[in-house]
Structure 1
Amino acid sequence: MLTSLWPFQFKDANVQATPPSIQKGEFEKGLYVSEENKTLLDQPATAIDLSTLTGLVVRDWQHDVSIINTLTPNVIKLEDNDPIFKLLQAKRADFYLSEFVNNENLQECELRLCNVPLKGIKVKLYDTRHFVISKTSKNGRYYAKILISGMQKLRAQGRIRALYEQMGFINSQVKDWIVINSD
């Protein structure tokens, strides 16, 4: 299995990292709220004072924790993301950060509970993601060389970004939304 990692996840590991599979600032997230929260959804998102709202975040999601702490002082840190939908429905919190869902209305559902992003605003994660290859594996250096070369070619051709757009990871529906956090 191959997955990409944030640099802090492999900082002290004996690995060779590829060029970024996700460039700094390419990963965007929305501020998701319960679709039943008409108070927030019926007003322009740019007019909402986020500092008065309560945000939810999984304590181990380093980037989300950092961003959400700049948006509001009212943060509930969770051990995992299982209770998010129920906490929003129960009005114990107002929003959480989530990657944009790849469907027409950007709606994220779990069982019969659904959340949608506040329209018009988004945040960016100003970090990169990389694939890594162990320097101690039998053919690690060989595979690293091939993978790095291939990724450099794909990036130069614009194919990595095109694939992320095709998958919906980079979502064209939100390309004109305002970024509310800075690097």
Structure 2
Amino acid sequence: MNNNFIGFFIFLLLSFNGQANEVIDIPITQTLLSEYHAYQQEFKVKKEQAFLKRTVADLLIFQQALIAGGITAKLNYLIVPNLKREFLLLKHGEIVASPRIISEGSVSDDVKLSTAIIKKGNFKKLMYGLKSNQKLMSANNLDDLKELRAVLASGWKYDKEKLTQLGFKHIITTYNYPTIFKLIKHRDIDFTLLDLPSRENMLKYYQGIELAPVPNIIITLPNSRHFMISRNHADSEKVSQALTKGIRILHENGTIKKYYQQAKMYHPRFEQWQEF
């Protein structure tokens, strides 16, 4: 796909929010909003070489799918603390949709899913923990790790099912993503599952806490990933149709694949890793 195509879409994203009279409230964490603004600024200088996290790529795809589907409303970013709050807002029809991608089968009847953004078998994660955890980092295979303790976000249903299927028995959950890092750092939890890294050094950071991937092990989750749409909002059907159309267009023209390549989701360095 021509890089100018992505550049054109980014130009739209940097400019269209001030051009529409209609306003759509979009839930977003403060962390993601800050990362999105940082990407906007870096893109102006580095273009497609700008550092792009997968969650920011999700947001860009959401915005572009709305545009491609015919909606050019101004997006008002509504700060939410976590996924639980997003679910409640969607359930009660206080917001129409969310740019957070989520697994099929992970939502209530009050929420429906968009067309798949990431198709089945294409969503992969790594095991992350402290670099100083020698038992974790020196493992040669999964059998060396099955007695260790894991922490996952409570909404990561398929992550938990996958670890259970693989034989892990000690799994706790938390609603708050930052708490995952704190539990691993301070509470004798060994690892979590996190997205493939965007940084070349493959490390993940939060408030001074650094997590490293377990070498040579990659976990493939069997489910697809989707945006969430409320069934109880006045604009639900309009937004659903726009996202369906827009996602189809972005799959066909390669925009979705291009963004996830920029975010290092599809990277040749993982091709020789053991996949489970």
TM-score range, shorter chain: 0.7 to 0.9
1:156-171 to 2 correspondence within 5 Å?
156-168=252-264, 170-171=265-266
| Comparing 23-32 and 108-117, the one that deviates more | 108-117
Q: Name the residue aligned to 1:24.
A: 120
Percent identity between matched residues is: 23
Deviates more, 1:31-40 or 1:136-145: 136-145
| 5+ long unaligned stretches in structure 1 | none
What runs of 5+ residues in structure 2 fail to find an aligned partner?
1-25, 27-97
CA contact (8 A) 1:36 1:89 kept: no
Using the alignment, how far apart are the partners of 1:77 and 1:139 within structure 2?
Answer: 34
Q: CA 1:48 to 1:10, structure 2 compared with 1: closer, same or farther past 3 Å?
A: closer
TM-score by length of 2: 0.54
| Pairwise CA RMSD | 2.8
Q: What is aligned with 1:98? A: 194
Cα 1:47–1:137, aligned 2, differ >3 Å: closer, same or farther? closer
- Matches of 2:175 and 2:210 in 1, distance apart? 21
Give the corresponding residue for 1:145: 241
Name which of 37, 57, 67 aligns with 2:133.
37
User: Equivalent residue of 1:116, what SS?
Assistant: strand
The residue number in structure 1 matching 2:81 is none
- 1:146 and 1:22 map into 2 onto residues whose CA distance is 18
Amino acid at match of 1:58: A
The answer (yes or no) to whether the contact 2:111–2:228 under 8 Å persists in 1 is no
Counterpart of 2:73 in structure 1 is none
Cα 1:134/1:62, change in 2 over 3 Å: closer
Q: What is the aligned residue count?
A: 177
Contact 2:130 2:211 in 1 (8 A): yes
- Residues 30-179 of structure 1: pairs in structure 2 closer than 5 A: 30-41=126-137, 43=138, 45-46=140-141, 49-69=144-164, 70-90=166-186, 92-134=188-230, 137-138=233-234, 140-168=236-264, 170-172=265-267, 173-179=269-275
